[in-house]
Chains A and B, each alone.
Chain A
Amino acid sequence: MKNKTERFPGRASFLRYELKGSTGFFIASMLLSAFVTLADLINPRIISCVIDYVLSELPLPESGIESELIRLFGGPAYIRERLYITALLVIFAALIGAAARYAQSITNTAGAERLVKRMRNTLFSHVDRLSVKWYGENSTGDILQRCTSDVETVKQFVSSKLTSFIRIIMLIALSMFFMSGIDLTLAFIAAAFIPVIVGYSMYFHTRIGNIFMKADVQEGVVSSIVQENLTGIRVVRAFGKEAYECDRFISENSDYTNMWIRMMRLMSFFWSAGDLISGLQVMIVVIMGAVYCVNGVITPGNYVAFISYNAMLIWPVRELGRTIADLSRAGVSMDRIRAILNARKEDLSDEPASFGDVQEPLIEFSDVSYTYNGSTYALRNIDLHINKGEKIGIIGGTGSGKSTLADLMTRMCGGQGLTGNITYRGKDITEYPLAAYRRQFSSVLQEPFLFSGTISDNIGIAAEDISPERIRSAAEKAALLPAIEKFTDGFDTFVGERGVTLSGGQKQRCAIAAALARDCEVLILDDAFSALDAQTEAQVRKNIFAELDGRTAVIISHRISTIAGCDRIYVLDGGRICAHGTHQSLISQEGIYRDIYELQK
């Protein structure tokens, strides 16, 4: 799959790009975390000195930093009289530690949030510009998961896992340094367990990670059954399939549950086995330390300090194994995100385009064939031309390629699978910058889509800084005004997932209003009146035609009445143009058009 044109050929290049702007924070956070670790490791030293030299009155060694410091504070006997000095010392160390911890934590958050913001932004900018064809090849649920939970995984990994990884390494190094300062053999015994615990925990987390993914997939199955049942509830009811759906749900849900029960058992086993291993390590350190202490190899204070250091090590070491195991999971997430970012996006840069002066024909298809999948052709040998200001009708059976024709025109599809030439104002359509080219068109889609927002947001969606008057007049022309006025909030009524539900006809009229509110050269109506009754349709159509004012319109429909007034009508059958002409000429000759006309008359 790898090739030179990929935006991010590897994980490193991906991370490098996404970390721009947050690297500094992460480096600062790591340096600070070294400081925090150091501050944490001071306490056991203080305690050890207090126990040995102040409380137990062991002789102070001649040299060494600790001895120097104790003398600086007035010597053991002086401190013995004034124990508050030690208490203040602990508080002082804690204050420094707390300040460092605070600074570390906020720099890390700042870095993490910058990173995740950048990741989301780059992803969205990319997803936003991927072709319709790409969407056809990828499932929506999967794309969304990559944009949300995979992003979260990568963020978690960089901000918490990677920094804690560095901190743990530092902690191990520093505490081993202090521990071996107390006693080398004892330190060696404690250290011997580290690879065992890390290795064990790595093994466990890799294994559990795989099961985790399977359970995730199964949860997706359960979730999509719920989703399907909610969107298709009427179908479920109409076919009386309640019991069937329940059985299906219960069986998938119980598979999912059993997966988790197995996983929980496994996890509990691994956890407690991990507890056992680390418990044994602590035990051996405690016993060996006690023996050394009795034999006078180490002082009681050092014994206490050693055990504290060891206790501090245990959790981070266990975490280390997990972090390493998560590495592969984060890697998978990164790859999944990269796969999106490496897909070729459409070039929608805002370069100005100059459109030629050629107006006859405005749009021309010469011998155009198109296939989506490389085997069956959606369109074959299409020849058509559209002049400026013309109204062009397209009619044809279900699946005859009407929408594909419109999609080719607006460059929603094309590229591979396309043969023949499509020109706009005399130049091949691919020669124009895509964004500017698409802005020449305003389309109403077969299945209207509402953006979440108010009705007026939806009508003005494609037009920047549109005036309320213009929105109102667009709604009026689309015969939507009466419906809007019935809502208590009028134009400010929220629609979409979190708002009121519009009927199919209302949605269609809303999409028509949005298309009318926008300046364009060519208006495309793809079966845009299917949910409207004849009367409303006639009214809307009249308004649209009046609005055209020299602009071009392409109208796809099943209804003769919708397109009968067009300057030229193309009749599609099985991906080919089987007839074209005006309404009059088409009904005067035998063929599909006349059949349809007879039926609808």
Chain B
Amino acid sequence: MVTISRPYTKSMIIMIVTGFICSACDSVFPLFNRYALDHFAAEHTLDTLGIFIALYIAVLAVQVAGNYISAAICGRIEVSVNRDLRDSSFRHIQKLSLSYFNSNSIGAIHSRVMSDTSKIGETVSWKLMDIVWCGSYLISILISMAIISPELFAAILVLILCAALFTAFFQRRLIKVNRLIRQQNSVITGDFNQTVTGIKAVKSMSVEARMEKELFSDTEKMRRHSVRAGHISAFFSAAVGMVSALALSVILYRGGALTIEGVMLIGTLSVFMSYALGMIEPIQHIVMTLSEFAAIQASLERYNELMSTSSDVSDTEAVFEKYGDEFEPKTENWEAVNGDIEFDHVSFTYPDGDIPVLTDFSLKVPKGSMVALVGETGAGKSTLVNLVCRFYEPTSGRVLIDGRDIRERSVKWLHSHLGYVLQTPHLFSGTVRDNLRYAKPDATDEEIRGALAAVSALDIAEQLENGLDSRVGEGGCTLSTGQKQLISFARAVLADPDILILDEATSSVDTITEKKIQSAIKKLTGGRTSFVIAHRLSTIADADIIIAVKDGMIAEQGTHAELLNKKGVYYELYTRQHEDIDRVVTDRI
């Protein structure tokens, strides 16, 4: 927390000092009443009224000014710290390897970036300020009491300690219940989220009533937790009220006796009474804030955990020197890509797995060839692609591009030459044009139309209500899966990559369109190296290298003809699929 607030040390010191002055002023006001009672009223004179008023105004002015300064600075520190933390965590996320996103839920990462940071920001500003304000107020009234009457001071001190212990006790229980409430609250939010985002599934399954029953029981649970918390805090506030009444009664009893003895004046008695009433709130505040500090620890840990996660894939110093990083690429040093790719004795095991997916795998992919990866669902076809993209690095062995180890050049360099079309397309909210320009910010409408036409998506785009200016909605929700795939395909085409990777890029696109795209792509890929993952074998029959994957292992590789002759995994896949239509027609299955 210290490092986080370092840039604001100076502001924080000013904030603390002014905060201290304010509270000191606050504790001075009862002394004015004392003077009025013991001097003006007791001696029936108004001789010093002028000075009295002037002093009062002066203290008030200092207090008001101090309040303004400390609150303004405090607010600035809060939002600045908040901004710094969010900026750096966002930047950090951009550097993390993809495996992190596979093992952490989006919701969890999101709340680290958005809510944990704001809690930390609040802590180093307002919570700290609370402690300063309340602490210095308490200290100054204690000092003032000790000077006026040590005996009463001692009695009050005991009560203060009681109140503090009391608060600490209740606060701990409250925090526990509140944690339950927060959890239950996120369950309820989750219920809403599920129904709202999955409404069509809810309806087609006709589970409205079931979902409703679930929510009703969740809200009832929430009610019970909250009522329990309500009981605790109600009892707490009643009890704290009692402590303050006890303080008052002690003062009336002992202070009254001192007044009768003539040791204490009535004004002084009244000062003590105002202090007794005024001290309870700061005590509560301090204890609560301190225990909240403990709760904030969790946020800080989560944030630090995110920031200390390092990428599985990162560039070495030397590479960084020459090629720059994601944020300051030194493009002047970047070589062009020819497109020869080689796997050189590559072994690979996924970080969270224990079975090697690749063992001593070697393969040369000459420039311009098309590599097809086929195999059953979930067989691990994406592994090779993940290695080429350097989303993961080989456990041993090397991946070479144009004869040089992929690690000798920066990740950013590699990605700038890659085009990757995913099976689950992701579009950004914005217009169709915005989404295409993502690949090439300065693309003209001509180029955009060209790219759309290349994947036969121009008709689709033009049929939308506002053409290229149509908004696609969150995640492209206004489009069908096939349409989204086409647009994300066009986006990759527009980027004009040297190495193209198609991961079941057209699985939801109809065959005729797919065929058109293929011939267009063939022209487009020309001399480009490409990797294609496909289910429909007809689409990859003319690939230069076909790699058949089975149970996470590479079963065989070769050309279509070679593999058919081999009568192995590929042959089986191919004949099955090929016979399929005829068999379906005759057997009616």
Contacts and interface: CB of A to CB of B under 8 A. Distances in A.
B192 to A, nearest CB: 5
Interface in A449-467: 449, 451-452, 461-462, 464
B234 interface: yes
A14 interface: no
Interface residues of A, number: 180
B438 A253 contact: no
Nearest to B418: A238
B385 to A, nearest CB: 11
11 contacts: A117-B220, A226-B110, A235-B426, A238-B422, A264-B79, A272-B71, A303-B36, A445-B200, A498-B107, A505-B378, A560-B511
Contact of A143 (B75, B80, B196): B196
Nearest to A546: B589
Given A286-B56, A462-B205, 18 more contacts: A43-B245, A87-B249, A124-B192, A128-B208, A228-B428, A228-B429, A235-B426, A264-B72, A264-B74, A264-B79, A275-B64, A287-B56, A294-B46, A445-B204, A497-B107, A504-B424, A538-B584, A561-B581
A1 interface: no
A600 B513 CA distance: 12
Given A51-B269, A88-B249, A449 B200 contact: yes
Given A129-B208, A144-B193, A397 B216 contact: no
Interface in B52-80: 52-53, 56-57, 60, 63-65, 67-69, 71-72, 74-76, 78-80
Interface string B577-589: 1101100110111
A429 B191 CA distance: 31
B512 A260 contact: no
Interface size class of B (residues with CB under 8 A): 35 or more
Nearest to A263: B75
Interface string B250-293: 10110011011000001001100110010000000000000000
A99 interface: yes
A438 interface: yes
Contact of A235 (B422, B507, B508): B422
A102 B238 contact: yes
Contacts of B226: 109, 112-113
A134 to B, nearest CB: 9
Contacts of A376: 463, 465
Contacts of A54: 256
Given A47-B273, A55-B266, A249-B90, A398 B486 contact: yes
B460 A238 contact: no
B584 A83 contact: no
Contacts of B189: 144, 148
B101 to A, nearest CB: 5
B492 to A, nearest CB: 8
A97 B105 CA distance: 50
Contacts of A565: 584-585, 587-589
Nearest to B460: A399
A264 B79 CA distance: 9
B538 A601 contact: yes
Contacts of A254: 83
A242 interface: yes
Interface stretch (B139-147, B340-348, B445-453, B475-483): B475-483
B407 interface: no
A120 B219 contact: yes
A188 to B, nearest CB: 20
A91 B241 CA distance: 10
Interface string B223-249: 100110111011101110110111011
Contacts of A117: 219-220, 222-223
B393 to A, nearest CB: 15
Name B's interface SS.
helix
Contact of B201 (A121, A445, A597): A445
A148 B182 CA distance: 13
Contact of B416 (A240, A300, A452): A240
Contacts of A600: 511, 536, 538, 581
Interface stretch (B37-45, B398-406, B523-531, B554-562): B37-45
Contacts of A530: 481, 507-508
Interface string A513-525: 0100010000000
A173 interface: no
Interface string B308-333: 00000000000000000011110000
A250 B82 CA distance: 12
Nearest to A440: B206
B339 interface: no
B508 A272 contact: no
Contacts of A441: 204
A211 to B, nearest CB: 13
B195 interface: yes
A396 B480 CA distance: 13
Contacts of A498: 105, 107
B198 interface: yes
B573 interface: yes
B14 interface: no
A231 B427 CA distance: 10
B420 A234 contact: yes
A489 to B, nearest CB: 16
A558 B194 contact: no
Contacts of B424: 504
Given A50-B256, A101-B238, A565-B588, A294 B45 contact: yes
Interface string A95-131: 1011101100110111011101100110011011110
Contact of A90 (B52, B197, B252): B252
B411 to A, nearest CB: 8
Interface stretch (B91-99, B162-170, B299-307, B364-372): B91-99
B375 interface: yes
B119 interface: no
Given A239-B438, A257-B80, A505-B377, A267 B71 contact: yes
Nearest to B224: A113
